Structure 1
Amino acid sequence: MTTMQLDKIDIKILSLLQQHGRLSNQELAALVGLSPSPCSRRVKALEDSGIITGYATLVSPEFFNLHLTAYVQVRLEKHNQRVLNAFEQAMNHYDEVLECCLLTGSDADYQLKVLVADMEAFKHFLLEKLTTNQDIAGIRSSFVLKQAKNHTAIPLPKSYD
């Protein structure tokens, strides 16, 4: 990522795009007080610098009968680079794994966020996929009862100059 000096307009563009990713350049320009060409150039600069990393459509898991979210903590037998890389590569092949994070300050080495239809699907993921990894020393799962907040926007500075 290249360094880029941001101003209030850049922060406003980022904030608006995080909340309303389908804004047209015309709409975005009007909301930030620019004409369309300079607004488009700013968005392109934010993309080129790596500050905007991509665009996505958020899809309802419930529509696809994906009702069970689990957080799975995984402890590995060994902690060398080969084992860590192999584990991460394996997790990248499992569609059920939405997030895979290497941890510190925990008994676990990794935390996975897993999304499946139900407990039967989780059992299949756990027994047929995850536990087949010979480098795993232990697994602990927690299940989401209620999602109190689901937010994708990162916090941006309130005032920026």
Structure 2
Amino acid sequence: MAKIDNIDRHILRELQQNARMSNLELAERVNLSATPCARRVKQLEDAGIIKQHITVLDAEKLGLNLTAMISVTMDRHTADRFEKFEHAAAALPEVMECYVVTGQDSDFLIKVLVRDMRHYEEFLLRRLTKLDGVSGVHTSFVLRQPINKCVLPLQTSA
């Protein structure tokens, strides 16, 4: 775990709310002058704590109306087989998240965004199930998402 102080946590909370704010605005919000604030942000980036600055889009407004959670079972449990699947799944634009899981009958859980059932069927039958090693899938469709957080909880140190 990286060593960060309360000022770093304050910077991270502010940036998670609005990564587009200027360094000057950020510095004012965390009670630093601009140069030390920029230095801290750079250190957080260099340490890999800040992975990237992104813009969060509204999937539905872009026509991606169906979210599917797909459990994927692999034919063999080898590191090579898993790595190949992970690489191939990452290349599919519909795949938003991928987890290696335990405690289920599946090996991977992937979150997929598609336009509709026709798009899902094409994705499933023509691409996902054709990936090397995929021996089974089970899909659950998201009815609604009452909680959607992209802000990590940052506690102040005691």
Correspondence 1:150 to 2:148: yes
Sort the Cα spacing of 1:118 and 1:10 in 2 relative to 1 into closer, same or farther, 3 A: same
Q: Is the 8 A contact 1:69 1:143 kept in 2?
A: yes
* Separation in structure 2 between the aligned mates of residue 93 and residue 44 of structure 1, nearest angstrom: 30
**Alpha carbons of 1:4 and 1:72: their partners in 2 closer, same or farther (altered >3 Å)?**
closer
Amino acid at match of 2:7: I
Return 5+ residue gaps in structure 2 as ranges: none
SS at match of 1:54: coil
What does 1:70-149 align with in structure 2 at a 5 Å threshold?
70-149=68-147
Identity across matched positions, percent: 43
CA deviation vs aligned residue, 1:79-125 (integer Å, no higher than 9, x gap) = 01121111111101100000111111111100000000000000000
* RMSD over equivalenced CA pairs, Å: 1.2
**What do residues 19-48 of structure 1 show as CA deviations (whole Å, max 9, x unaligned)?**
111111111100111111111111111111
Q: Number of residues paired by the alignment? A: 158
Cross-structure match for 2:157: 160
5+ long unaligned stretches in structure 1: none
**Secondary structure, counterpart of 1:101 in structure 2:** strand
Distance across 1 between alignment mates of 2:59 and 2:73: 28
Q: Secondary structure at the match of 1:121?
A: helix
The aligned amino acid for 1:32 is V
**What TM-score, normalized to structure 1?**
0.94
Letter in 2 for 1:6: I
Look up the equivalent residue of 1:160 and give its one-letter code: S
2:52 counterpart residue number: 54
Counterpart in the other structure of 1:16 = 14
Give yes or no for contact 1:11–1:160 (8 Å, CA) kept in 2: no
3-state SS, counterpart of residue 18 of structure 1: helix
The answer as to whether partners of 2:85 and 2:132 remain within 8 angstroms in 1 is: no
The farther-off stretch of 127-136 and 26-35 is 127-136
In the TM superposition, residue 4 of structure 1 has moved relative to its aligned partner by 4.9
Deviation at 1:133, TM superposition (A): 2.5
Q: Residue type of the partner of 2:25?
A: E
